[in-house]
Amino acid sequence: MISFSLLMALFMALLTLSVRPMGAWMAPLAAGSLPSRWQALDAWLLKLFGVDGRGMNWREYALAVLTFSLLGLLALYALQRLQGVLPLNPQQMGAVEAGSAFNTAVSFVTNTNWQGYAGESTMSYLTQMLGLAVQNFLSAATGIAVAFALMRGFARRESADLGNFWADVLRVSVYLLLPLSCVLALLLVSQGVLQNLSGYISFTGLSGQVQTLAMGPVASQEAIKMLGTNGGGFFNANSAHPFENPSDLSNLLQMLAIFLIPAGLTHTFGRMVGDKRQGWAIYLAMSVMFVAAAYALAYFELQGNPLLTALGVESVAGNMEGKEIRFGVVGSALFATITTAASCGAVNAMHDSFTALGGMVPMWLMQLGEVVFGGVGSGLYGMLIFAVLAVFIAGLMVGRTPEYLGKKIEAFEMKMVALVILVTPLLVLLGTAVAVVAAPGLAGLANPGAHGFSEVLYAFSSAANNNGSAFAGLSANTAFYNALLGIAMWFGRFAIIVPVLALAGSLAAKKTLPQTAGSMPTHGALFVALLVGSVLLVGALTYLPALALGPIVEHLTIWSGR
């Protein structure tokens, strides 16, 4: 626990230091008004892409999001199906099977990056670069753009203008994601992450056995995989693979990269609404839940597996099945918390082999709706939905019309909030229920008993909340799971984005009321506690019964000695 606390302290210190500069970097992009020295370049870029930059109302904005995503889906599907006849394919990978190609296309377009395939034996370099990595950028930019639109909803008064989606995506991609990715990619290469276009190499190892090593342009993809909270690994083992994540430093960089933009956006939000404390309150609420979850996960993993101890295995190291030595339990537990608190889904350890309760923590973090930092953009707009819920509950308690940041919260807003909060539990619980009674669903289980149920619950929690990590024993590359999880991912993304934009449109149209002595302050400790309470309460009430059937039963079985 001491080294875990040291790593946690280092991580939180670096992250907190990054919040203000990152927030300031993104603020002009959110406001849509760049500093004057960039305006000539910006005008040229918009012209190059034929984007007029005209303001959109929420319906136009939503339509642009959906159209862009749908087109991305079709392009990525086509690329996977045609990769066999396209260049940059030294291993001569054939066309990806149709069901898997559909699932993967949905997965990357929705910023989920659930992976039903093994990268090194399925995808050509061209598909990785031009397909998967491009959607890593674009789905991330889309999420950030939607968060910008919601910020504008709070910041603007009596306006229909939420900004221009095309200009937002273009600016976020070119001014934010691309430069960050270039720097991170080269830092990762310096640690030993691959970056080449060679075919796989084979040689005779030290004791005479032939070994083949997969190659590829890994670092460039790894960088945006983390920065865009995408999480889809170049290789099957994801960030556990030494060629994706070779050292202590690469592990820390990857963990920081996951939270960098979601954390910075809280500050951007504060600047946009003209009160930085509002952003810090959100950051604090997220941090409290994150740190608590990380300690819980580390505690359970360090306890180890008593059933192995009974066989004569030492337990000081904690539970090491499915973990890498260079990360140990400490570096794996922190990474697992970060990747599921954010909707990243990259893994540096196999979550399926975590202890029962250790595996429940990432599952529950996803089920909270990916709002503890969450995905780039999506984490902030998800958390703001809970903030609206929190002021609504507080308003009910004291009998006042709830307001947030000067905007009156009325029936239409609450309908959209309710919709957003209800969509993912519906997808998760319904999907899990279908899969555990249907024969093709049960056929995918790798582990027997309660753990098998956890595998399915984890899969739907991950898909519907656009995380992408897995209890990877589940054989999910089947027609059944490819279709069902594909649907969960699509609606888990866009059935949230559309009501969020509707909410943004409705808020932008309202007047901004002045703060009075009767207004509830939303930057203090009381509000932070209320916000954390709302998130945890909704998460607990929704998922505790299902969690009791999976990880909780498994934990009791293991520790009762059978």
Partner 1 sequence: MNIAIEQQQGRDKAGVWGPAARMLLGLSLLLGIAYPLAVTGVAQVLMPHAANGSLIVKDGKTVGSALIGQNFQRADEFWSRPSATGGSAYNGAGSGGSNLGPSNPALHKVVAERIAALKAAGPVPVGPVPQDLVTASASGLDPHISLAAALYQIPRVAQQRKLDAARLRALIDAHTEHGWFGDNARVNVLQLNMALPR
Q: Tell which residue, 412, 438, 424, 293, has the closest CA to residue 367.
A: 424
Q: Find residue 204's DSSP bridge partners.
A: 210
Q: What is the closest distance, in whole angstroms, from the C-beta atom of residue 540 to partner 1 in the complex?
A: 24
The two tokens of residue 452 are: 């098998």
Pairwise CA distance, residues 21 & 46, whole Å: 25
Tell me the two tokens of residue 193: 């992450």
Q: Which is nearer to partner 1, 39 or 67 (CB)?
A: 67
* Whole-angstrom distance, CA of residue 562 vs CA of residue 559: 7
Write down the least CB distance from residue 108 to partner 1, Å: 12
Q: How far is the CB of 320 from partner 1 (least distance, A)?
A: 5
CB of 197 to partner 1, least distance (A): 6
Our CB check for partner 1 shows the closer of 245 and 512 to be 245
Closer CB to partner 1, residue 406 or residue 499? Answer: 499
Report the alpha-carbon distance of residue 95 to residue 122 in Å, rounded.
Answer: 8
What does 264-300 look like in DSSP terms, one character per residue? HHHHHHHHHTT-HHHHHHHHHHHHHHHHHHHHHHHHH
Residues 49, 188 contacting (CB under 8 angstroms):
no
Q: Using an 8 Å Cβ cutoff, are 438 and 480 in contact?
A: yes
Nearer to partner 1, 474 or 538 (CB): 474
What torsion do the CA atoms of 45, 48, 51, 54 make, to the nearest 10 degrees?
50
336 vs 304: CA distance, rounded Å? 16
Q: Which is nearer to partner 1, 247 or 515 (CB)?
A: 247
To which residue do tokens 């308690």 refer? 397
In the complex, least distance from residue 169 CB atom to partner 1, rounded to whole angstroms: 6
Helix (H, G, I), strand (E, B) or coil at 211: strand
Structure tokens at 463: 């898909």
- Name which of 208 and 514 has its Cβ closer to partner 1: 208
CA distances from residue 54 to 38, 49, 93, 502 in whole angstroms, order as listed: 18, 14, 43, 19
Contact (CB, 8 A) for 450 and 556: no
Minimum CB separation of residue 11 from partner 1 in Å reads 12
Asked if residue 228 lies in contact with residue 257, where contact means CB atoms within 8 angstroms, the answer is no
Measured from the CB of residue 215, what is the shortest distance to partner 1 in angstroms?
7
**In the complex, what is the shortest distance from the CB of residue 381 to partner 1, in angstroms, rounded to a whole number?**
21
**Residue among 173 and 466 whose Cβ is closer to partner 1:** 173
CB of 48 to partner 1, least distance (A): 7
Instruction: Classify 215 in phi/psi space as left (phi over 0), alpha (psi -120 to 50) or beta.
Output: beta
Residue 302: exposure state from Cβ atoms within 10 A (0-12, 13-18, ≥19): buried
Nearer to partner 1, 355 or 542 (CB): 355
Of residues 264 and 328, the one with the C-beta less far from partner 1: 328
